[in-house]
Structure 1
């Protein structure tokens, strides 16, 4: 796909109103062209084969052939980036779709107010344009039983955005040999979805995964997911490391923010601070990476070869603060090795 050509989009949704609205919002940019629409998965697959779109927007609940079956068949016949359009009422469906290969998701506004529709337009434009940079990923889920580790926690901060949910899942699965770790995860995601994301990861084992709450104590075998719309920070208090979830300030570009998490890790852990930047758009994490490096800690980044979007990792690497650039499949084993060296 040439950089000068508009992104070609196929809209798949059983609602005629939604198809019209999405088409209007997408084509408000001269860089996007809706090449077709479909009312169900069967029609959508035929349109993909005939029109060869660069990206598909997908409603999961459709008659005849639903969204999950569409994703499975699309992956095996004509792999194409898919952005799921989901309601807040179906949060868990989103993560199943991401596991089946969807590129990203957008939440439908609860009420179609002018502000909500404008927010939807901006998000659609941003994520559709991101397919110019997309790379395939394979979460390869593996389920293992939970254990109850008793060893001291090794703490690491993980930052991710677009393409992040499957990458975070795969990372947790790779860390199973060392379940005494504690991970603090900042995944860019709307506030209505982060708890469902944590609950889904909690089923994988061996870690106990939950959405972080104010006052949570850092403990071995735990993974804390930053709550959407708030920040996740860690600080030392009476001999323990405690989590805070403050609201964003006017200066924060993201909530949750990888920068805010990494800066707090640098302050709390100093030379023992560890931050890992995974796939994502933008530059969140770059400022925090410099803070960790200045404190004497370590920052790693996912390599271009596996990152779905090599935006955040690239920006972190550009600061000169990143000490290791690794494919996603190597990050988990390398963290296990580092944790065991630090015992």
Structure 2
């Protein structure tokens, strides 16, 4: 099996050396070169033909956004952004422009601080490798027919859904932006979201969604009431759970357990919601690496809830949706442009 060829683009010599060293220690990865700015990045991409590019957005001469646009649009190259914690808005802009994912690096870039990204960097590169190899193999398990509901879906006209719980990872931010902005009005159901994201990014992300959605969208805080028309985003680095308190449902924000591989965890969120809402819950699994949400959709289905998954045609990474489909609990597989309407149809607010 040929190794995945990686090009490292960063104007900091120390960062280039450190990132290259981290990646060179991974089996199946070959760092084929580096670039110090956008112009050299283009030349190296043409010359070296990498499979993946790591990209710092802050660079002299040609900036990272211009290079990103060229790499994704002209060369169709997967790009992993490595950016400072203080650049949340820039990161989300990069994701909307086509970056596959991002790694948050310390602002100072000192040796001990930069080494803190090694685990996250290696994990994301490993998952990208799996995704690239999967796309080349074109071997996928059987899935329900795309955009065709099964009999278990509620019929239009019956208000079946009070809670929509969404799971997403790689490719999730622009997918969620698309879904939230496509609703024509706020509807009488609550939304909770587990988007894999580190601490320090989710508040800016929630604010970004809130500006373009008729729903009120905000980062969840412990004790928040779960109400119709409100969307709560799980805080980065924490798990979001729902809990019955008195006559209402409230959000609980808790640190992850040692066993939680993905944070915020969709499995933890879905599993906490299922017994509270039963048949009045809809789970949605969007693009992402890994298998988070696959245990949760089983819990949702066991309690009589409904499950949607994003189709391979539109998913940036068909990992989480694939694993959800493999459980046999997915009622409907839908391309991203149709997911908001599918959500409304499941709740009796539109046509299936």
Question: What band does the TM-score fall into relative to the shorter chain?
Answer: 0.7 to 0.9
The one-character-per-residue Cα deviations of 1:295-338 (angstroms, maximum 9, x if unpaired) are 01111111111111111111111111111111111211111122
Q: Does the CA-based 8 Å contact 1:81-1:131 persist in structure 2?
A: no
Q: Does the CA-based 8 Å contact 1:160-1:187 persist in structure 2?
A: yes
Q: What is aligned with 2:111? A: 112
Q: Does the CA-based 8 Å contact 1:157-1:185 persist in structure 2?
A: yes
Quick one: distance in 1 between partners of 2:321 and 2:286?
A: 6
Deviation at 1:171, TM superposition (A): 1.4
Q: What is aligned with 1:163? A: 171
Quick one: distance in 2 between partners of 1:300 and 1:321?
A: 9
Which segments of structure 1 move beyond 4 Å, counting only runs of 4 or more?
none
Using the TM superposition, name which of 196-205 and 105-114 deviates more. Answer: 105-114
Deviation at 1:80, TM superposition (A): 1.0
Q: Does the CA-based 8 Å contact 2:127-2:289 persist in structure 1?
A: no
The one-character-per-residue Cα deviations of 1:175-228 (angstroms, maximum 9, x if unpaired) are 334544321000011011111211111111212211100111112222110011
Among 17, 22, 35, the residue aligned to 2:32? 35
What is the number of residues matched between the two proteins? 324
Q: Does the CA-based 8 Å contact 1:92-1:196 persist in structure 2?
A: yes
Residues 1:225 and 1:341: Cα distance change in structure 2 (over 3 Å): same
Q: Does the CA-based 8 Å contact 1:178-1:336 persist in structure 2?
A: no
Quick one: distance in 1 between partners of 2:17 and 2:103?
A: 17
Among 199, 210, 216, the residue aligned to 1:208? 216
Structure 1: runs of 5+ lacking an equivalent: 136-150
Map 1:47-196 onto structure 2 (within 5 A): 47-109=44-106, 112-113=111-112, 116=116, 118-123=118-123, 125-132=125-132, 154-196=162-204
- SS of structure 1 residue aligned to 2:254: coil
Quick one: distance in 2 between partners of 1:153 and 1:212?
A: 21
- Larger relative CO (CA 8 A, sep 6+): 1 or 2? 2
Structure 2: runs of 5+ lacking an equivalent: 136-158
Q: Does the CA-based 8 Å contact 1:230-1:246 persist in structure 2?
A: yes
